[in-house]
Structure 1
């Protein structure tokens, strides 16, 4: 007796799964959602965006882990694989000098062995109706800065349709976004935040959610859902409502980026709802 998916969706903002920087893992021991960060370098690595590359490395690593792998060991193994990749691509020194060059990803993982959810970055979780978010202070700052800039552009005469074709607000906050890479995994800084990027993580700042033994279901999702709900249908409906009312994502839902012409959403998105037999002790009971 193991785990089973109730409902799921993983789709890129362009509609092409091959271009999505969201990936998910579903094995007998782990369920995870990986959200590779949007490319701000303009470069590709192995013909892939940095977000897609890191998502694939994280996914393939988790799929091979022993069931009793701890949070700390999981991150150490992922980081080792990332460091090896950086060396193979000849970009390690460049990343160490320019932090914003590093591929980064948010990660949320359910471990069946420990009956816990591990939340690194801004992926989201629902356990039996209770929502767990991990928003970053720095994201609120950049989203508000972009919102202010776009409001001023509209006041000067630009239309929403014009801004959907060319978003100067995104360009305006590029330097802020590049600067925030220097604050990744910073234990002391007021704006510091934890992320997967191949370098050490402060585990005291990683959220660990103990899942109740009688939990009926768990939802793991990327931040491509502005308002995560208990069902995929409701989460999708609210997303579509936001995109219709506020396609630039600067009023109803403030974000660092909005919808662009030709896109299906403002970001890639993944929703994974599952249930199962939870915990080690439950396995022992089943075997008796």
Structure 2
């Protein structure tokens, strides 16, 4: 495996980018912790999404190179679930917004496969593969409608919504409700069993392949990091609220450097 370029960039300048990309002899991964939708934290020193990201990073370094996708998901689930020792599992079952949650995309060198657990994306020889949450586009569209109404009625301005994204606050109940489909209608890593029919597996033919794996912080994935960053910059400049041709569940908040954390790794296999 030849790593061509990689980058981890948190949306907030105050957060240190650690372990969002993992590269070992057997695996390459991009991990994206879920944005908190509840004030409940398993570890008071960090968000649940960040803690989950760190646990996934840890597990990848322990996983057997021979693991199938199912083996990996089972082992990862057990690894995260150990952190729930002493927690109210019944409550976590009913309130998935309080779980340790992350999406990840993993390349297995032994299996020559890409495993997509949750909302992530990749390019394989220029062809896009993604695995979006089923309700994400609908809820993002609803947020766009709310924001547009606020702008048109004079209730808010672009600047005020970049300071305080009231349109996002309005859809939080819908985002939490959608999370009840977590590891039922879509897959994530959260310490609960992952349905394998919701994990997208991309198998690679023998020979050379150029692969790019990234988090959903890149709304437009290009074949170079520079090109992906350029398109992101254009989006943030022309539509900072993310309510036009690209719709998201959050805005580009004033003081941050993007609307979401992003990670990008490009590599070649022979």
TM-score, normalised by the number of residues in structure 1: 0.89
Retained in 2: the 8 A contact 1:22–1:35?
no
Would you identify which runs of 4 or more consecutive aligned residues in structure 1 move more than 3 Å?
none
CA RMSD, Structure 1 to Structure 2 (Å): 1.5
Partner Cα separation in structure 1 for residue 171 and residue 215 of structure 2: 22
Q: Alpha-carbon deviation of 1:4?
A: 2.4
Is 2:144 the partner of 1:147? Answer: yes
Partner Cα separation in structure 1 for residue 19 and residue 166 of structure 2: 25
Partner Cα separation in structure 2 for residue 99 and residue 172 of structure 1: 19
Retained in 2: the 8 A contact 1:22–1:268?
no
Question: Once the two structures are superposed, what CA deviation does each residue of 1:50-79 show, in whole Å capped at 9, x if it has no partner?
Answer: 110000001100111121111111111111
Q: Alpha-carbon deviation of 1:253?
A: 1.1
2:267 to 259, 271, 274: 274
Retained in 1: the 8 A contact 2:77–2:194?
no
Retained in 2: the 8 A contact 1:61–1:78?
yes
**Gapped runs of 5+ residues in structure 1?**
187-191, 278-288
> What's 1:10 paired with?
8
- Structure 2 residue matching 1:137: 3-state secondary structure: coil
Retained in 2: the 8 A contact 1:68–1:113?
yes
Question: Once the two structures are superposed, what CA deviation does each residue of 1:109-161 show, in whole Å capped at 9, x if it has no partner?
Answer: 10000101011111101111111111223001110110000000001112111
Structure showing greater Rg: 1
Retained in 2: the 8 A contact 1:21–1:268?
no
- CA 1:152–1:22: 2 relative to 1, 3 Å: farther
> What's 1:285 paired with?
none
> What's 1:194 paired with?
187
Partner Cα separation in structure 2 for residue 230 and residue 110 of structure 1: 17
Partner Cα separation in structure 2 for residue 212 and residue 91 of structure 1: 45
**Gapped runs of 5+ residues in structure 2?**
none
Count of residues paired in the alignment: 268
Q: Alpha-carbon deviation of 1:21?
A: 8.5
Retained in 2: the 8 A contact 1:54–1:103?
yes
Partner Cα separation in structure 1 for residue 95 and residue 127 of structure 2: 39
